[in-house]
Amino acid sequence: MPDEVRVQSNGAYWQAVIVDHLGRAKAKSIGRKDAMTKRQAMKAARIWAAEHADNPIAATARAITLLQWRDRYVATRTDISPLTLSDHDRTLTLLSHHFGDLEVRRLGRPDAKDFRVWLESQPGRGDGNPTMSEATVRKHIRNCKTIFGAAVDEGWRTDNPFSKEKSSVPETPNDWQYVDLETFGRLLEELPIEYRTAAALARLAGLRLSEATFLRWSDINWSDRTITVRIRGGRATTKQRHRTVPIAPQLHDLLTDALLMGAFEMETPDLDLDHVAPLAGENLQRPLRRAAERIGAAWAKPFHTLRKNCETDWLASYPVMDVCRWLGHSPAVAMRHYHQTTASTMRRAAGLDTTPSPAEAEINRLRAARRRTARRLRQLRANQESTP
């Protein structure tokens, strides 16, 4: 608490003055003299002094409203991608819709909890979601933490009212369908060549849909059999990082066929031939979903399902850190959302399937080669010793 609180006259107004323990004086106009007595002004001064002790910045700083903060936030956050900024702007719109043009410093922890409850009652997207899903609610709460964290950094607040609210991604069951390579081969037969290539980049290289449609032939290193996934827009983000992905033998054959056949030029001559799967702007999910239905499968998010299948296969054969670098996310994300125990893995663990995994087959091949080399060396030594 301040050492001293007093009320003094300032023309037609009462003015509160506090002096802290360092001798620094701060003053604030309390109200007009003709609207309150000195005793009432002293009571208001004590309330302001208590607020200043708990929140010195908010009690003395120039106030900013939610609408003003929205304009400033959108204009100054040049360090995040346009897509993320648009998502934050949506959250700011919801905040303004719920609280009106409230001062940023006036929003407290009870208000944050009320906002969460209000979000849970808002309409969801699609006929199957009458109210906003828990994942969407938590996404907006995460945005609020960032938005009000920026307000704290700029001095408009001294605390973040959303810091105690749950915002982590809710646990989701890994019940997506595993697509083995035989089924995937039948799926490819149902697709035109340009869609076939995009699907293969998801299932066999783990590329995201946007990455598959953005990929250029110049990003493929045929000698090293690698794909370079480049940053679009010049800014690295969580889902957009420069990385190198290996080309599996089956994918290599598909890419070679697409390149040598000139299939894109024959079927759709107006497409940009610089891109491996030049389908930007088209609805790629629909033809893939229909092709899956024709072979007796149904996936809500076909391309994402194929990407998850790719990582599941790789995690069964290669080190987790390597796989996560190829896919472009962390091991925690891989374990939570991408990895799924397959039936073949369960059978191998139970001793019912003796077919080795690709990694085990490679190890066995190297061991066999080492044994052959050792036998040849022994034979050479024996021949030298027997020669007079």
d(CA 349, CA 345): 6
Is residue 70 pLDDT above 70, yes or no?
yes
Which pLDDT belongs to residue 28? Answer: 80
Q: What is the dihedral of CA 178, 135, 90, 115, to 10 degrees?
A: 180
Which pLDDT belongs to residue 130? Answer: 84
Buried b or exposed e, range 249-267, using 16+ CB within 10 angstroms: eebeebbeebbeeebbeee
pLDDT in tens, 152-207: 888 888 789 999 998 887 665 555 678 888 888 888 888 877 788 888 999 999 99
Select from 334, 306, 333, 302 the least CA-distant residue to 318: 334
Is residue 266 pLDDT above 50, yes or no?
no
pLDDT in tens, 269-293: 444 567 787 665 566 778 888 888 8
pLDDT in tens, 206-263: 998 888 888 888 899 999 899 998 876 555 555 566 889 999 888 888 888 777 655 4
Residue type, 378: R
What's domain 66-153's architecture?
Answer: Orthogonal Bundle (1.10)
Which pLDDT belongs to residue 170? Answer: 64
Mean pLDDT of the chain: 79
Q: Which of the two residues, 148 and 299, has the higher pLDDT score?
A: 148
Cα–Cα distance list, 224 to 120, 172, 252, 277 (Å): 51, 37, 11, 21
Is residue 2 pLDDT above 50, yes or no?
no
Long-range CB pairs of 225-230 (<8 Å, 24+ gap) are 225/252, 227/201, 229/328
CB 305 within 8 A of CB 299: yes
Cα–Cα distance list, 92 to 1, 82, 98, 149 (Å): 34, 15, 10, 13
103 - beta bridge partners?
A: 65
CB 16 within 8 A of CB 40: no
19 - beta bridge partners?
A: 4, 25
Grade residue 58 by pLDDT with cuts at 50, 70 and 90.
very low
Which pLDDT belongs to residue 33? Answer: 87
What's domain 181-348's architecture?
Answer: Orthogonal Bundle (1.10)
Burial of residue 121 (CB within 10 Å: 0-12, 13-18, 19+) is exposed
Which pLDDT belongs to residue 271? Answer: 47
Q: Which of the two residues, 331 and 38, has the higher pLDDT score?
A: 38
Is residue 354 pLDDT above 70, yes or no?
no
Q: What percent of the chain has pLDDT over 70?
A: 74
Is residue 147 pLDDT above 90, yes or no?
yes
Which pLDDT belongs to residue 252? Answer: 87
Task: Enumerate residues 6+ apart whose C-beta is below 8 A from 121.
Answer: 131, 132
Which pLDDT belongs to residue 52? Answer: 66
pLDDT in tens, 315-350: 888 888 888 888 887 776 666 656 666 666 566 655
Q: Does this model's pTM top 0.85?
A: no
Which pLDDT belongs to residue 127? Answer: 52
Which pLDDT belongs to residue 126? Answer: 58
pLDDT in tens, 104-123: 988 888 999 999 999 999 98
- Output phi, psi for 124, to 5 deg: -90, 180
Q: What angle do CA 36, 42, 44 make, to 5 degrees?
A: 75
